[in-house]
Amino acid sequence: MSAPWVMGITGASGGPYAVRLLEILARHRVPLMLIVSSHGWRLLETETGVSSEEELREATGGDWSNITVYDNGDRGARPASGSAPTAGMVVCPCSMGTMSAIAHGSSRSLVERAADVTLKERRKLILVPRETPFSLVHLRNMTAVTEAGATVIAAAPGFYHRPQQVRDLVDFIVQRVLDHMEVEADLVPPWEG
């Protein structure tokens, strides 16, 4: 069995991205350590109507035998240790507060500590912010995490695939995240030129 990915869901707008990404990862049986912040739960309820772990499981296909859920307040949980092997981490969506904490190494929660560990262990860290416009502080924090080794995938969908519905826009971003996770999925056809 391959090393699990860590997935954090924080309070930035973008709940549909998180739900769809989690659905695809569950469907593809990708081993996953899931952490949802309190603001992440609030976001999921506001944007997707999902207000509990059970509802999230149902919204993402129901089978979570490959997913382990961790409490964001438990900074001593497995994802907080570099000795626990992982394939990397994705934070989707990633709030600007979380981005700032990661950029400055001030891990106040399990999501932030797991991201800090991911960077120090030189594993893949993918951050998906959904904010506009970006302030200079946001841009500097995105630069700092990129210089530290993270990949920032701003939730800014393309249109070359001619989206017909909101799900097509969501899938565009989720496909980009999956590409960087090296998870094969055909949600959006690649650009052919």
Q: How far apart are CA 5 and CA 147, in angstroms?
A: 22
pTM of the model: 0.96
Confidence of residue 193 (pLDDT cuts 50, 70, 90): confident
Confidence of residue 112 (pLDDT cuts 50, 70, 90): very high
Domain ranges of the chain: 5-181
- Residues facing 90 on adjacent strands: 7, 126
Structure confidence at residue 162 (pLDDT): 92
Q: Quick one: 5-181 is in which CATH superfamily?
A: Flavin prenyltransferase-like (3.40.50.1950)
Q: Please report, for residues 3, 16, 27, 94, the alpha-carbon distance to residue 143 in angstroms, rounded to integers and kept in the order given.
A: 28, 26, 33, 15
Tell me the mean pLDDT in the region 168-186. Answer: 96
DSSP structure class, residue 155: S
- Residues facing 36 on adjacent strands: 9, 71
CB atoms closer than 10 angstroms to residue 27: 13
Mean pLDDT value across the chain: 96
The token duo for 150 is 């993270």
161 touches 168 (CB < 8 A): yes
Q: Can you tell me which residue has the tokens 């994705």?
A: 90
Confidence of residue 1 (pLDDT cuts 50, 70, 90): low
Q: pLDDT tens digit string along 15-74?
A: 999 999 999 999 999 999 999 999 999 999 999 999 999 999 999 999 999 999 999 999
Half-sphere exposure of 102 (CA within 13 A, CB side): 40
- 167: Cβ contacts below 8 Å, ≥ 6 apart: 16, 20
Q: pLDDT tens digit string along 139-173?
A: 999 999 999 999 999 999 999 889 999 999 999 99
18 touches 92 (CB < 8 A): yes
SS3 99: helix
Look at residue 182 and tell me whether its pLDDT is greater than 70: yes
